[in-house]
Amino acid sequence: MEEQVKKSPLDEKEEYIINMGPQHPSTHGVLRLVVSLRGEVVRNVEPHLGYVHRGIEKMCESITYPQIIHLTDRMDYLSAHINNEAVSLAVEKALEIDIPDRIKVIRTLMSELTRIQSHQLFWATFGMDLGGLTCFFYGLRDREKVLDIFEETCGGRMIVSYNCPGGLMYDIHPNFQKRVKEFIKYFRKTLPEYDQLLTGNVIFRERTIGIGNLSLEDAISYGVTGPSGRASGFSCDVRKHEPYSAYGRVYFNEVLYSEGDTYHRYLARIEEMRESMNIIDQLIDNIPEGPFAVKMKPIIKLPEGEYYQRVETARGELGVYIISDGNKNPYRVKFRSPNFVNLSALNHMAKEFKIADLVAIGGSLDLVIPDIDR
């Protein structure tokens, strides 16, 4: 008995290994982390991936460009619109098609609504991870309103497949503008509730401020983009640096902090929801008249060459790299997914913090696992 006590894994000098996931509630999917601990302190985090690897890049090589759109929904399912847009823009860029203003504006509106609903879900689940279950109900209540708008126009709620090469699948629903305006009016009133409930909460602040710091240099070296990168001061907003669709003509701020801790990664997302609402305000009354899609050839073939398109999803920079050999199928497609790259910094961020902080740090990266595995 005495000997057992001596060899107890809680001995400060001994390192022991626990398995977090693939079915852990705080990983929001099938992410498996093998965590080495010394006492309560994290020494090493090693992600084991592949539980939802579907080989999307391989599948893309045998299907046509309009078909790829439907696979991109299933990568980062919370940024489905923006993923669709990335492939559509890449194809349009390759074919040098001019897209009418109406399509650009609707795409931008849809992307910003997507960003809002994604950050709402982030807020909901992040609060839940840290023990505030009320957040989950508030967040999902509000997110439902955005999904209803999607459902009316796109037919789908999450897997929307609304953008396609050459424009949109269908025109917006006659109620679209009215409902978006109603939602913005409602959400401007509700967003301060989010701050009251979580941002100012003492327990929440204790658990996030100064936890999981990521310096600017490391953020760039690890390639951490999106709100997580901007919380470290990495100016990486593709909407600002390389404006696509209608982002060139709207006014908005790039949310930047310099602290780079869990709290500021959270705060960046809350502020981004405000910026997204500002963008929507500027565009919703100014949707130009015109067609909702450009007439495309029934079989789309890209000219031989290489095309790269970047967009800003709710989690960071998504890159679509297409190599075409002139056929109707791409020769090679590579998705530079933001979650995959952000995850690679998790080990660096969680080191020397407690195991309970790992949940907070992982939650603040807002990982979507199917986007990591692809």
Partner 1 sequence: MNKTELGDFIKSLEQDCEINEGKQFTEISVPAGKLHKLAENLRSNEETSFDFLFCLSGVDYGVDLGVVYHLRSTKLGHSIVIKVRTSDRVNPHFDSVTDIWKTADFHEREVYDLLGIKFTGHPDLRRLFLDNSWGFPLRKDYTDDINIVTK
Do the Cβ atoms of 365 and 211 come closer than 8 Å? no
Residue among 79 and 342 whose Cβ is closer to partner 1? 342
Beta strands in 81-178 (DSSP E): 163-164, 167-168
Residue among 229 and 363 whose Cβ is closer to partner 1? 229
Q: Which of 133, 136, 148, 132 is nearest to 180 (CA)?
A: 148
The CB-of-345 to partner 1 minimum distance in angstroms stands at 8
- Kindly list the distances between the CA atom of residue 226 and the CA atoms of 18, 113, 124, 160, 182, in Å, as whole numbers in the listed order: 30, 16, 19, 22, 28
The CB-of-174 to partner 1 minimum distance in angstroms stands at 39
For 15, phi then psi, to 5°, come to -100, 135
The CB-of-133 to partner 1 minimum distance in angstroms stands at 33
Residue among 141 and 241 whose Cβ is closer to partner 1? 241
Spatial neighbors of 89 by CB under 8 A, at least 6 apart, are: 244, 245, 309, 311
The CB-of-215 to partner 1 minimum distance in angstroms stands at 12
Which amino acid type is present at position 252? F
Residue among 128 and 224 whose Cβ is closer to partner 1? 224
Residue indicated by tokens 């980062």: 76
Beta strands in the chain (DSSP E): 15-20, 32-38, 41-48, 163-164, 167-168, 305-313, 316-324, 332-336
For 144, phi then psi, to 5°, come to -55, -35
Binding site for partner 1 (CB under 8 A): 49-50, 53, 55, 57-58, 62, 218, 220-223, 234-236, 241, 305-308, 310, 317, 319, 321, 323, 332, 334, 336, 340-341, 343-345, 348, 373
The CB-of-344 to partner 1 minimum distance in angstroms stands at 4
Residue among 188 and 241 whose Cβ is closer to partner 1? 241
The CB-of-155 to partner 1 minimum distance in angstroms stands at 29
For 33, phi then psi, to 5°, come to -110, 125
Residue among 301 and 354 whose Cβ is closer to partner 1? 301
